[in-house]
Amino acid sequence: MPVYNMDIAAIFNKLADLLEIQGANPFRVRAYRNAARTVESLPKSVSDMIDRGEKLTDLPGVGKDLAGKMEEIVRTGALKALEEEQAKLPRGIEKLLDIEDLGPKRVAALHKELGIKNLEDLKKALDQGKVRELSGFGEKSEQKIRQHLTGMAGGEKRVQLFVAEQVAKTFVDYLRGVEGVRKVALAGSFRRRKETVGDLDVLVACDDGAPVMDKVVEYDEVVRVAAKGSTKTSVVLRTGLRVDVRLLPVESWGAALHYFTGSKAHNIEIRGMGVKKGLKINEYGVFKGEKRVGGAEEKDVYDAVGLPFIEPELRENRGEIEAAKKGTLPKLITLSDIQGDLHAHTNVTDGKNTMEEMAAAAKALGYSYLGITNHSKRVSMAKGLDEAALAKEVDKIRKFNDTLSGFRVLAGLEVDILEDGSLDLSNEALDDLDFTVCSVHYNRRMSAEQMTKRILKAMDNPRMSILGHPTGRLINEREGYAVDLEKVIAGAVERGCVVELNAYPDRLDIDDVHCKLAKELGALVAINTDAHSTGDLSFMRFGIGQARRGWLEAADVVNTKKTRELLRALER
Q: Tens digit of pLDDT for each residue in 278-337? A: 999 999 999 999 999 999 999 999 999 999 999 999 999 999 999 999 999 999 999 999
Short-list 16, 21, 54, CA closest to 33:
16
Residue 151, pLDDT score: 59
To 5 degrees, how large is the angle CA 519–CA 524–CA 529?
Answer: 105
CATH code that applies to domain 5-152: 1.10.150.110
Residue 2, pLDDT score: 73
Right CATH number for 159-248 from 3.30.460.10, 3.40.50.720, 3.20.20.70, 3.30.460.80?
3.30.460.10
Radius of gyration of the chain measured on its C-alpha atoms: 25
CB 234, CB 227: distance < 8 Å: yes
Residue 153, pLDDT score: 52
Collapsing DSSP states into helix, strand and coil, what is residue 75?
Answer: helix
Where do you find CATH 1.10.150.110 in the chain?
5-152
SS3 annotation, 273-311: HHHHCCCEEECCEEEECCEEEECCCCHHHHHHCCCCCCC
DSSP state of 26: H
Instruction: DSSP for 379-428, please give it.
Output: -GGGT-B-HHHHHHHHHHHHHHHTT-SS-EEEE--EEEB-TTS-BSS-HH
CB 100, CB 144: distance < 8 Å: yes
Residue 103, pLDDT score: 86
Please give the helix or strand (H or E) that residue 245 lies within, else none: strand 242-248
Residue 91, pLDDT score: 85
CB 171, CB 243: distance < 8 Å: yes
Distance CA 467, CA 200 (A): 34
CB 464, CB 497: distance < 8 Å: yes
Distance CA 298, CA 97 (A): 44
CB 427, CB 363: distance < 8 Å: no
Distance CA 457, CA 15 (A): 40
Residue 155, pLDDT score: 52
CATH code that applies to domain 335-570: 3.20.20.140
Where do you find CATH 3.20.20.140 in the chain?
335-570
pTM listed for this prediction: 0.83
Distance CA 488, CA 467 (A): 9
Residues of the chain where predicted confidence (pLDDT) is lower than 70: 1, 100, 150-156
Residue 324, pLDDT score: 98
Distance CA 31, CA 37 (A): 10
Residue 271, pLDDT score: 96
Backbone phi, psi, residue 230, to 5°? -75, -25
Collapsing DSSP states into helix, strand and coil, what is residue 437?
Answer: strand
Where do you find CATH 3.30.210.10 in the chain?
268-326
CATH code that applies to domain 268-326: 3.30.210.10
Short-list 412, 336, 400, CA closest to 367:
336
